[in-house]
Amino acid sequence: MASMAKAAHRAGLQGFAFTDHLEWIPEDEATGYLNFEAFFAELRPLQAQWQGTLEVLAGIEIGNPHLFPEQVRATLSAWPWDYVLGSAHWADNIPGWLPVAFEDGIEVAYDRYFRELLCLARDGEYDVLAHFDLVRRDSWAQLQQTLPIENYAAAVDVILESVIARGKGLEINTSPWSRGLDEPCPGLYVLRRYRALGGEILVFGSDAHQSRRVGQHFEQARLLAKEAGFSRLAHYRGRQIVDWIRL
Ligand SMILES: [Zn+2]
């Protein structure tokens, strides 16, 4: 965590959130990984050390929170989170990042993913919906193929409307740019629809996992967000938007 903070500072960020994975699906390798006591024990000295230079926030990325409402409620009330990402890593009980997700064809995988994402967007607890069209990154990794997101225009709009109506936000996840894709998750089409439907709350996530990738491609994300009509990013603290950052 200390090297992540150094990397964030080096990348020119004024603040960032750790968003470790939290999963409950038994077959998920991340299930049981996050130790909350250890997380906060390591985070707090970092927050003190960097105070005034780099804001270090306590985030969390919850997988399929709509399936585990009791566990989510307990976790979110037990610890002082600044920021909660909601992610559809599994769709219809199938892990989206493994070959099994594409066994019945790419269209089936995309349909399944967007059905799950709608349930999450509508019923799950989160602040910001993570990597909106993660299925593109996964299908690229498995098949070196993606489908045009415009094919899912109706599903995209319904999901975005739910995010907006609930006062939640959207993440631009920049990791696809490091994995051979020409757009982040989501790309320009979804960002423009989000803006057109009245969406305002936007954040950047590098999905870094390693310190060398913290804040990667944020300049590209900034240009894309502006192209889609956004002029600011949301700054969360204590699960509230406390400020806006000009793009
Ligand atoms: Zn994720």
Question: pLDDT per residue over 200-237, tens digit each?
Answer: 999 999 999 999 999 999 999 999 999 999 999 999 99
Band of the pLDDT at 182, cuts 50, 70, 90?
Answer: very high
Contacts of 135 (CB under 8 A, 6+ apart): 91, 96, 109, 110, 113, 114
What is the CA(208)–ligand 1 centre distance, in A?
10
What is the CA(21)–ligand 1 centre distance, in A?
8
Q: Looking at residue 200, what is its pLDDT? A: 98
Distance CA 86, CA 140 (A): 22
What is the CA(98)–ligand 1 centre distance, in A?
14
Question: pLDDT per residue over 44-94, tens digit each?
Answer: 999 999 999 999 999 999 999 999 999 999 999 999 999 999 999 999 999
pTM across the whole model = 0.97
Mean pLDDT of the chain: 97
Band of the pLDDT at 137, cuts 50, 70, 90?
Answer: very high
Per-chain residues with Cβ under 5 A from ion ligand 1: 87
Domain regions of the chain by residue span: 25-30+61-246
What is the CA(247)–ligand 1 centre distance, in A?
24
Distance CA 187, CA 108 (A): 21
Band of the pLDDT at 98, cuts 50, 70, 90?
Answer: very high
Contacts of 39 (CB under 8 A, 6+ apart): 18, 20, 58
* 51 SS3 class: coil
What is the CA(223)–ligand 1 centre distance, in A?
23
- Please state which CATH class domain 25-30+61-246 belongs to: alpha beta
What is the CA(78)–ligand 1 centre distance, in A?
22
Q: Can you read off the two tokens belonging to residue 148?
A: 């045009």
